[in-house]
Structure 1
Amino acid sequence: MNFFLGVDAGGSKTYSLIVNEKGETLGRGVSGNGNHQTNPRHAEDNIAAACHQALREAGLSKDNIAYAYFGLAGADREPDYEVLRPMIQRLEFPRHSIACDTMIAMRSGTARSYGAVVISGTGFNAAARNRAGEELQYGGFGYIYGDGQGSGRDLANFAFRSAVRAWDLRGESTLLHELVLRAAGFQSVPQMLDAALDNGYTPPLTLAELVFEAADQGDEVAARYLAEQGSELGNAAAALIRRLGMEKDEFDVVLGGSVLSKSRSTIMTDALAETVRMTAPGAKVARINMEPVAGAVLSAMDMAGHAVNEEIMSRLRSASFRDLKGEAKDEQ
């Protein structure tokens, strides 16, 4: 019997999951911050704690693990991997791989070992893997570095800006004027501007939701912006698809993050899908349907050459961490 370990090391929590070759859960672990960019020593300790907890629950040792796969927040560039490779090597799993946590998010939304993923929450990330296992990713750095469009921060800033521009007549009339004032608790735009300019008020991320709300009510300004940003997110995925030579393949483009997963409006996701299909007609939009740590387990199976069937996928979809308490506290 083969056993597989998956790890999802994020900025607030680190999760680990051990399953057998049937996808049956044997051990789980949870700990604190696993992002080395915040504190490398604490990240290493927390990743180790989550792995040890899962091993103990499963009654296994590291040598029993056929393959371990680590999805790591902050694994963005080669300087990050220069820190992460020795960090994970010190955990002493005989066979292992590491990747950005964006890649395990992709695997948690598709039955294939390859595909693309677009994550839009507070910020933005995109990544893709082709049939040969080649990977590319970008994003997470902000607007000045060429990304950030379509993120929660971008939408919140747009809502704020649109309310101001509607008030001073530089912009079109929009429902965002009243929606933003009401949500932010100001009586007028001048009062809101004074708070921003004099008292450090920053548009909260919750304003992003108002763009969808306005669009649902027929607001053209909001609807047009959502379509534009959806196209930009699709452009991000399409660029990776072209660079990896995936234009003629059939695969899933997995959508994740609060902006793409929680909205009732389909304006943004429809524009994203249409833009991707212009580059890869065989691509289909999919959603993350299991815990990202389960995507790490599936990646471990892929790397070990273990065939994944629907029975395994179904078991991993049901894996839960709601009742699990961590052994280590985040010390950052």
Structure 2
Amino acid sequence: MSLFLCVDCGGSKTSAVICDANGNILGRGLGGPSNFSYIPLTAFTEAVRVAVSTALDSCVSPSNTPITLPPPNELFAAAWFGIAGVDSPAVAQNASSALSVLLGIPIGPRLIIANDTHLLAAPLRHHPDVSYAITAIAGTGSCVVSFTKKPSGELVELARAGGWGWLLGDEGSGFHVGREAIRQIMFDVSRASLGITLSQTSTLKGKILSHFGIKNEQAAAEILAIVHTPEITIKNSHNTPGYLLVPKEKRLSQLTPLVFDAAFKDNDEFALRILGNVAGGLADQIAQLCIGPGEDMATKPRGVVVNQAILCFGGSLVGIEGYRALVLDELRKRGCVFQCVEFVEDAAAAGAAGLAAMTAT
């Protein structure tokens, strides 16, 4: 039996899917975070090892009976890795070398290494009348990539926006949500210092301040010191707040569930304003890859004509319908209305099936 492996490596988890030559999913597995830019190589390969091993252990045939796996040196006919943080040929080569050793697959056509956005472009193959795809990942981090397809169905990357990591970008991501929440709190602190009466109350502010142990809104400025305090590595102190035990970027991204709950459950104006700003940042990056009003192929030769394109979303944040609607609304304001829009819920499964189909042809 020929087995095909696809692994989606992201900032929150690693998802591995194994399928047969017909695209039937045989096994799945999960591992820890595997953004190649953020963690050591040993941690990356361990996350992949756990995910792939778990997927192999769970393998059953389409009729739900155990299968006999090929020997280790012939285990996978091909493997496709979509890896957050793989943004250059040199980084892809480093990842290829490590994964080749881990899986016993020689570096070459059987081992495909690309950014995780590439997995999201799989729906383009199923739309013969669509010429382009833009993939937009918004989860822990974010990245936007445009593609076209050859007559053979092969996907070709055109251009990229974002994917610079939390320190320089990640617009539309979980980190961006947390950062914007703190920024909006501090804007209100500045307004209050001018004697301006704030127009709305907010359940979200109270939740965020409580999360950081700040007892009242008048002391909101204390949040700055908390955000900028370095991570405490000594973890045996019972008096150390939990938020000081995590890196500063996660200190912000961990606020995302509070913002989403306040926005979509409480209809909190303050939270909705935050998400609107964040959605606008992601929409700006998508629009950057499009041929917009006043532009043409001469001014942007590798731009995407939106009415000939599919927009493929992926990631935990854009998996939430309300947030996805905010992004699409911001795109409409920028003159970007796509021929069709899809949310790719299971990028690893789509990639595994696509890999099997490519190999068959």
Greater mean alpha carbon deviation, residues 79-88 or residues 193-202: 193-202
1:247 and 2:305 correspond: yes
1:82 and 2:93 correspond: yes
Map of 1:296 onto structure 2: 351
Map of 1:117 onto structure 2: 135
Map of 1:24 onto structure 2: 24
Q: Deviations over 1:180-201 (max 9, x none)?
A: 0244224433323235437948
Preserved CA contact (<8 Å) 2:16 2:51: yes
Output the CA distance in 2 between the equivalents of 1:274 and 1:72: 30
Greater mean alpha carbon deviation, residues 205-214 or residues 18-27: 205-214
Q: Deviations over 1:227-280 (max 9, x none)?
A: 45434322312333456443166342122333322253665233244257x35x
- Counterpart residue identity of residue 220, structure 2: M
Map of 2:164 onto structure 1: 141
Output the CA distance in 2 between the equivalents of 1:32 and 1:105: 20
Question: Which residue of the other structure, out of 172, 179, 188, is the alignment partner of 1:150?
Answer: 172
Question: Which residue of the other structure, out of 196, 212, 233, is the alignment partner of 2:263?
Answer: 212
- Counterpart residue identity of residue 217, structure 2: V
Output the CA distance in 2 between the equivalents of 1:248 and 1:108: 16
Map of 2:284 onto structure 1: 235
Aligned residues: 300
Question: Which structure 2 residue ranges, 5 or more long, are not aligned?
Answer: 60-66, 230-242, 244-250, 292-300
Output the CA distance in 2 between the equivalents of 1:75 and 1:46: 16
Closer, same or farther: CA 163–110 of 1 in aligned 2, 3 Å? farther
Map of 1:173 onto structure 2: 198
Q: Deviations over 1:67-93 (max 9, x none)?
A: 321122321233311311222333333
Output the CA distance in 2 between the equivalents of 1:93 and 1:198: 46
Map of 2:221 onto structure 1: 193
Map of 2:234 onto structure 1: none
Preserved CA contact (<8 Å) 1:7 1:16: yes
- Counterpart residue identity of residue 93, structure 1: I
Map of 1:309 onto structure 2: none
Map of 1:40 onto structure 2: 41
> Alignment partner of 1:130: what SS?
strand
Report deviation, 1:141.
2.6
Report deviation, 1:99.
1.1
Closer, same or farther: CA 231–162 of 1 in aligned 2, 3 Å? closer
Map of 2:342 onto structure 1: 286
Question: Which structure 1 residue ranges, 5 or more long, are not aligned?
Answer: 307-332
Preserved CA contact (<8 Å) 1:273 1:284: no
Map of 1:316 onto structure 2: none
Closer, same or farther: CA 272–11 of 1 in aligned 2, 3 Å? same
**TM-score, normalising length: structure 1:** 0.71
Output the CA distance in 2 between the equivalents of 1:249 and 1:108: 16
Q: How does 1:62-73 map to 2 (within 5 A)?
A: 63=74, 65-73=76-84
Percent identity at matched positions? 22
Closer, same or farther: CA 165–54 of 1 in aligned 2, 3 Å? closer
**TM-score, normalising length: structure 2:** 0.66
- Counterpart residue identity of residue 165, structure 1: F
CA RMSD of aligned residues (A): 3.8
- For CA contacts below 8 A with separation 6 or more, give which structure has more relative contact order: 1
